[in-house]
Amino acid sequence: MNPRRKKRLIITSSLVIGLSLAVGLVLFALQQNIDLFYTPTEIVKGKNETGIKPEVGQRLRVGGMVLAGTVKRDPTSLKVSFDLIDNGGGIVTVFFDGILPDLFREGQGIVAQGELKNATQINAFEVLAKHDEEYMPPEVADALQGMDHLKTDKNK
Amino acid sequence: MLAEIGQLSLAIACMLSLLQTVYPLYGIYARNQSAVESAKILTNLQFVFVTIAFIVLCYLFIANDFTVVYVATNSNSALPWYYRLSAVWGAHEGSLLLWVFLLSLWSSAVAVMSKRLPVESIARVLAVLGLLSLGFYLFVLLTSNPFLRTLPYFPVDGRDLNPLLQDVGLIMHPPMLYMGYVGFSVAFAFAIAALMEGRLDSAWAKWSRPWTMAAWVFLTIGIALGSWWAYYELGWGGWWFWDPVENASFMPWIAGTALIHSLSVSEKRGVFKSWTVLLAISAFSLSLLGTFLVRSGILVSVHAFASDPARGLFILAFLIFVIGGSLLLYAVQASKVKSRGRFDLLSRESLLLINNILLIAALIVVLLGTLLPLVHKEIGLGSISIGEPFFNKMFSILIVPFALFLGVGPLVRWKRQKINELLKPLVLSLILSTVIAVLFIFQYSSKFTWMALLGVFLGFWILVTTCYELYLRATFRFTLLKGLSKLGNSHWAMSIGHAGFAVMIIGITMTQNFSIERDVKLAVGESIAFEHYDFHFDALENADGPNFTATAGVFTVLKDDKFVATMKAEKRIYTVQRMPMTEPAIDAGVTRDLYIAMGEVLPDGSWAVRIYYKPFIRWIWFGPLMMGFAGILMMLDRRYRVKKVSEELEGNV
């Protein structure tokens, strides 16, 4: 093989190897870092599309409305728990240790990211409420569609 | 009346951009010299009219004209004048007007500053830029007109600017970023014009290089500003979130970084030409993709403005037209581009190729991580999120070979390098940088992690090899000082740019590995201590401003019982939008930042408070500043000003 072709071959093959290695690594890392989104009802009854329930210990994101009257705070630390509900009627409890976002309040749509502790409880490491009162994450908006805000109060 | 004038000048500018696209190309085709020369005049005229439109919009904001919908929804008479001005680009319509204004500014700059370019080449470049402008004018006029009136029922006062955007960083961040985004259109136009002509020589690379560099500098500074803003404004002390919109600005930056390196090879050695063209197309296409992702509202983020499907569709169509069209042209014409140079496996060309490959790999990682959730949702698999850990892991892997090769690159000669000449500098640098890294970590941190050592080592590896290279180059013919003074601007630019990158790596490593973050419950009078620091919650104060009410927590900070600072962290409620905002208190320093943010009032009257210790976080922004400075230095290099440059000098630098 003449040296020019040989050089090209080396360059091309190293390109191909490098790229496939990169893509392989990316896919591998992706597998471990994809967090599926669930609504409270989907956690209780299984995903709408597939009927699969999340496993205990799985990392996931859950979005719904904070049920009024369910926010409980630990008097000595920042530990807090609250219930999330959506239009399917499922309720899950979220546990969080940290500072809730500025726009967190009862009756507000939020997204929590964390691990499933048992069938209806989630240990969250992050709670998000977006920085705009009119704004709601599309997933949460879907999950809450048709719900009257007032009816989410437990006492009514 | 004024709004109508703005509207009219925008429409005129739109028509002019159509002429700017068609007439010069017709002139080239029909060999009509005056038509070819009209390109520059049309470009400048277009600039004049879009400037009028832009100034009108600025004036409407300053004058609180709430009969205009866009002003009424994004401003308020209680806003200070500078925030009213920055509110011009605070939302969708105005930021697009800014975009097209800047595009026109760049076009006009090309028209004015390229007197020495062949008139036909420049006509082609301007025609391509005109076509891009036309697309954006139509977008503004058809889907997002900032001059719409609220008449007859106009509001008494405006709905105020989003409080997050009421900040000094936000006055500068979008224009800088846009200058970068839009600036890549010039590199793109040069590439397309060259493809149309079917001729790519090193003169082409030389002409488009300073323009590309300018765009890259703006983008670098713009991204750094955005990161700094997020750090002190969002109230949780992060500097990069791998938010899809951040990624949207990061992708063109990566492509642009690959482009400026590839361009230097094309200019000096005449190789990689078709690759460079492809990168120029990619960089601008990614800028457009970024705009599409942000403006179409399909992304969920702080940056996403109110979404309108028609807008998304328009940008998508434009995106497909630009990317598809340019790739088609590339496919047809690229075979005509021949690279003449040759180089060995061990040569600077090869190392720059490796640099490019790694950058593209990083680009693919970001692209996949950003687009996959969208695809996943669209094909009905449910919505997912790809978190920080994915990106962090991938970049920690990619940065290792990237930094190692970056250190070696400048030490290697063009065309051919004997390996044994390299061994001594490399081994010496390796030992030196390892020793410095270990000492550095033990000096500045009470803990130790291998990842931190690796990161700091990589930073010092780049710094040491860069200094070594400077030393070798300077003492090649002269004594050290005389040699250093004889080095050209672009050589300094390379060294400073690389050093800036190293500084940033060290900053990122230290911050990511040794930050201490405490979320605590504190009442007035209580205190918390960690890492030699003692934070004492002294008092709560009232700190109302013109358009907000606020409570401030006052803290005294001691280090080993010595006074360090009094810090005042605020919790604001913006009165018009009833929106709470956190204004953290930051005590900045070269080796560490102290950061206090007020969370919420707890039922018993105490506060949830975030207290952070962030080592070396300033370096993360200082690095990009150095890179930006280096870029400016490179643009000032002699060879971009002197009319004719001998080949010798080019090959030498």
pLDDT tens-digit readout, A83-114: 998 888 889 999 998 888 877 888 878 888 88
Q: Which residue of A has its CA nearest to B345?
A: A7
Pair (A137, A119) in one structural domain:
yes
Chain mean pLDDT for chain B: 86
At CB < 8 Å, which residues of chain B contact A? 162, 164, 235, 300, 302, 342, 345, 353, 357, 361, 364-365, 368-369, 372, 380-387, 389-390, 393-394, 397, 519-521, 577-582, 599-600, 602-604, 608-610
Pair (A67, A17) in one structural domain:
no
pTM of the model: 0.88
For residue A143, the Cα-to-chain-centroid distance in whole angstroms is: 13
- The CA distance from A105 to B16, in Å, is 52
Task: Please give the pLDDT value at position B307.
Answer: 55
B548 DSSP β-pair partners: B545, B574
How many Cβ atoms from other residues are within 10 Å of residue A49's Cβ? 10
Q: Is the pLDDT of residue B504 over 70?
A: yes
Pair (A146, A116) in one structural domain:
yes
For the segment B172-184, what is each residue's pLDDT rounded down to a tens digit? 888 898 899 999 9
Pair (A48, A101) in one structural domain:
yes
Q: Does A51 touch chain B (CB under 8 A)?
A: no
- Mean pLDDT to the nearest integer, B422-440: 92
Pair (A86, A123) in one structural domain:
yes
Q: How far is CA B597 from CA B517, B571, B584, in A?
A: 11, 8, 4
- Mean pLDDT to the nearest integer, B82-101: 88
For the segment B531-552, what is each residue's pLDDT rounded down to a tens digit? 889 999 998 988 888 888 888 9
Q: Residues of chain B with pLDDT > 70: what percent?
A: 94
Considering its fold, how many domains does chain A have in total?
Answer: 2
Q: Is the pLDDT of residue A148 over 60?
A: no
For the segment B97-147, what is each residue's pLDDT rounded down to a tens digit? 999 999 999 999 999 988 788 888 899 999 999 999 999 999 999 888 889
Pair (A89, A56) in one structural domain:
yes
Residues B355 and B407 sit within 8 Å (Cβ to Cβ): no
Q: Is the pLDDT of residue B621 over 80?
A: yes
Residue A61: which CATH number?
2.40.50.140
A116 DSSP β-pair partners: A122
Spell out the residues 6+ positions from residue B374 whose beta carbon is closer than 8 angstroms to its own.
Answer: B298, B299
Pair (A54, A101) in one structural domain:
yes
Candidates A25, A27, A30, A43: best to mutate against B (most CBs of B within 10 A) is A30
Q: Is the pLDDT of residue B78 over 50?
A: yes
Range of the domain at A75: 36-152
Residues B32 and B58 sit within 8 Å (Cβ to Cβ): no
How many Cβ atoms from other residues are within 10 Å of residue B528's Cβ? 16
Task: Please give the pLDDT value at position A16.
Answer: 84
Pair (A85, A133) in one structural domain:
yes
- Picking from A49, A113, A138, the nearest residue to B382 by CB comes out as A49
- Mean pLDDT to the nearest integer, B282-291: 89
Q: Which residue of A has its CA nearest to B366?
A: A26
Task: Please give the pLDDT value at position B383.
Answer: 74
- Mean pLDDT to the nearest integer, A48-60: 80
Pair (A81, A6) in one structural domain:
no
- The CA distance from B318 to B134, in Å, is 11
